[in-house]
Amino acid sequence: MRRAPRRRAWCVLAVLVLALLGLDRLFPLPAAAWPDSPARRPLEAVAVLAEDGTPLRYWPGADGAMRHRVTLEQVSPLYVEALLGYEDRAFWWHPGINPAALLRAAWQWLRAGQVVSGGSTLTMQVARLLDAECADRQRNLQTCATRSVGAKVRQMLRALQLEWHLGKREILTLYLNEAPMGGMVEGVEMAAQSYLGKSARYLSHAEAALLAALPQSPSRLRPDRHPALAQLARDKVLDRLMSQGAWNAAQVQDAKLERVFAPPLRSRVLAPLLAERLRQRGLKAGQAVVPSLLDAGLQQRLEQVLLDRLNTLPEQVSIAALVVDNSDGAVRAYAGSADFSDMKRAAHVDMVRGLRSPGSTLKPFLYAMALDQGLVHSESLLVDAPQNFGGYAPGNFQADFSGPVSVSEALQRSLNVPAVDLLERLGPERFAAQLRGAGLRLRMPANATPNLSLILGGGSTRLEELVGAYTALARGGEALLPRLQAEDPMRPTRLMSEGAAFIVREILENGGRPGAPFRESEARIAWKTGTSFGFRDAWALGVTDRYTLGVWMGRPDGTPNPGHFGANSAAPLLRDLAAALGPQQLAPRR
């Protein structure tokens, strides 16, 4: 007889389990609960980051929300302490609902005649955030149709379902990334970057408490609009944590000394054109967070140098610059234009990738190849005099001739006739093919083949390809393609011999007339300028032991920029950029 009640109990339990399984199948977790679900990708905001995690640029998701997804390990432990201490001390052990908290909330409601505390667990708050009825991004965690019994029951069931399918760390991570933080800002990392200008990894006690309080009423507590209310809410969190013994009195007292202040929300952008380029990569790969190899500090210095110079240029002239690490080809700074907000300069056009005539910037490669082929040595004499090469009669930039000159002088002064003579001996097809093998492609006009005009800018190429080829001078003759991300392969390609690279670099380091950039500088920089026909493009390339730098200046529409050429416009800018790298990067070779 005793077995009958037990059987009934087991039957009831089995029915309950089957009912729960049925409900779970009928009402599955929304796609937003699964971070890797393809269904959530259209909603994802995109964040492009520098190598150290500094955000370069954000794009909102299809729902308009701005978020930056992080893992639990990427958030300060202080924030997790503040969040759980204030919201849900029993988070790690309850099954999604906390009966004691619900009973306390019900008792307070009966005594006060109104809701005093909600009794919601952190898991229930996540369930609320995932509720379709709470899709309004201006929501907060105290409202959103949660006062009705039906809504509360729905959240409790969803919370149990979340705990069934997900681990505690996964649920906590969902909260970290979905919690509303005011306006269109969601998640702790986006809030930290937007209001505090820093990563959530590096929060102080005061900052952690502030961000823990925000989701309770994100519109009312926005620190950029209502700092006094935000400070009161923060202090309430601090007092709660002190009363619990989570933080001591000294920590709380110091935290309360910090005044709450945040500038108005605005888009903070670094390397905007590179960020857009990487965003397109990320979209194809389904990435919400797209890393890069950019050095955020160096990028800021680069952009400031370009902005300072831009004020001295005609209003339609743009600037592009690139800095590449010679050790691995990593792009450390990237500016496709100087001022992304200046539409008069076609700032939306990325001139790091623009196809332009390289002028005389290819000459170092020609001389290196000629050295490797035994056509010349560093002090061979070449003739700088009027010559006709099958109907092609080049002149010099200064419109005069110097007669017999050494290879070193011809390259340092960028004389045209000796270079064309050498190219005729080497062969234009061979020259173009060797450059192409190292990643520097020369695009010819329609129906044209490589010819002698190549060495004076008769083809077109990109700044990033030029900089990649110039790394050969610092790498013993092996060129590297610039790499934007860590997963980009590093493929060194032999462009010239080690001896030729050494000789050409020495020539370029010692070059230039008195008063020219770098001539009187202690820094050892191998540098070369170039100017395309009609003053359309001004170039300067520089090589140090650590970095290869490239600068382009001109009008993106290809119209002339009279009076501006490589030596008087691009080279001084290259000098300023080299100085911005810091003296430790420009030390003489030993």
Helix (H), strand (E) at residue 320? strand 318-325
pLDDT at 344: 87
| Separation of alpha carbons 454 and 309, rounded Å | 30
Map residue 51 onto helix, strand or coil.
coil
Q: Is 87 a catalytic residue?
A: yes
CA 22 remoteness from chain centre: 46
Contact 115, 109 (CB under 8 A): yes
Condensed to tens digits (0 to 9), the pLDDT of residues 498-524 reads 999 999 999 999 875 444 555 555 568
**Greatest mean pLDDT range, 310-319, 344-353, 390-399, 498-507:** 498-507
The average pLDDT across 538-544 equals: 96
Residue in 193, 177, 218, 183 with CA at minimum distance from that of residue 40: 177
Q: Is the pLDDT of residue 42 over 90?
A: no
Segment holding 437, helix H or strand E: helix 428-437
pLDDT for the residue 446: 84
Whether pLDDT at 74 is above 90: yes
Contact partners, residue 29, CB within 8 Å, separation at least 6: 130, 158, 161, 162, 165
The burial class, CB within 10 Å (0-12 / 13-18 / 19+), for 268 is middle
Furthest C-alpha separation in the chain? 121
Give the span between the Cα atoms of 397 and 482, in whole angstroms: 31
- Taking only the tens place, the pLDDT of each residue in 370-426 is 999 999 988 899 988 888 888 888 877 766 788 899 999 999 999 999 999 999 999
Separation between Cα atoms, residue 200 and residue 211, nearest integer Å: 9
Q: What letter does residue 263 receive in the DSSP assignment?
A: P
Segment (H or E) for 112: helix 99-112
CA 462 to CA 470: how far, in whole Å?
13
How many other CB atoms are there within 10 angstroms of residue 59's CB atom? 17
Q: Write down the pLDDT at residue 62.
A: 82
Which residue is catalytic, options 44, 81, 87, 186? 87
CATH H-level superfamily of 26-32+45-257: Biosynthetic peptidoglycan transglycosylase-like (1.10.3810.10)
The CATH topology of domain 307-585 is Beta-lactamase (3.40.710)
| 271 DSSP assignment | S
Q: Which pLDDT score, from 0 to 100, does residue 170 have?
A: 93
Q: What helix, strand, coil percent values describe the chain, rounded to 5?
A: 45, 10, 40
Burial of 427 from C-beta contacts in 10 A (0-12 / 13-18 / 19+): middle
Q: Are 6 and 14 in contact (CB under 8 A)?
A: no
Integer Cα distance of 433 and 414 in angstroms: 22
**Mean per-residue pLDDT over the chain, rounded:** 87
Q: Which of 16, 21, 555 is nearest to 319 (CA)?
A: 555
Distances (CA, A) of 90 to 94, 99, 122, 197: 6, 11, 9, 32
Give the pair of three-digit tokens for residue 433: 């093919």
Tokens representing 122?
A: 């952190």
Helix H or strand E segment including 290: strand 289-290
Q: Spell out a b/e string for 328-351, using b for 16 or more CB atoms within 10 Å of the CB, else e.
A: ebbbbbbbbbbbbebeebbbeebb
Least confident of 20-24, 389-393, 533-537: 20-24
Evaluate whether 358 touches 461 at the Cβ level (below 8 Å): yes
222: tokens are 């926005």
Q: Which two tokens stand for residue 377?
A: 């040595």
- Whole-number pLDDT of residue 271: 95
**319 Cβ contact partners less than 8 Å away, ≥ 6 residues apart:** 306, 309, 310, 313, 335, 337, 338, 351, 551, 552, 553, 573
Residue 477 contacts by C-beta under 8 Å, 6 or more apart in sequence? 368, 494, 495, 496, 497, 498, 500, 501
Q: In this structure, are residues 528 and 540 in contact, taking their beta carbons and an 8 Å threshold?
A: yes
Question: Could you give the residue range(s) of every CATH 3.40.710.10 domain in the chain?
Answer: 307-585
What type of residue is 12? V
Coil vs helix vs strand at 83 = helix
User: pLDDT exceeding 90 applies to what percent of the chain?
Assistant: 62
Residue 33 has pLDDT above 50, yes or no: yes
Q: Which of 76, 120, 360, 569 is catalytic?
A: 360
Assessment of whether the complete model's pTM goes beyond 0.75: yes
- Pair 523, 544: CB distance under 8 Å: yes
- Residue 368 CA to residue 498 CA, distance in Å, equals 10
The residue ranking higher by pLDDT, 205 or 19, is 205
What is the location of CATH 1.10.3810.10 in the chain?
Answer: 26-32+45-257
Tokens (6 digits) for 543: 């090589």
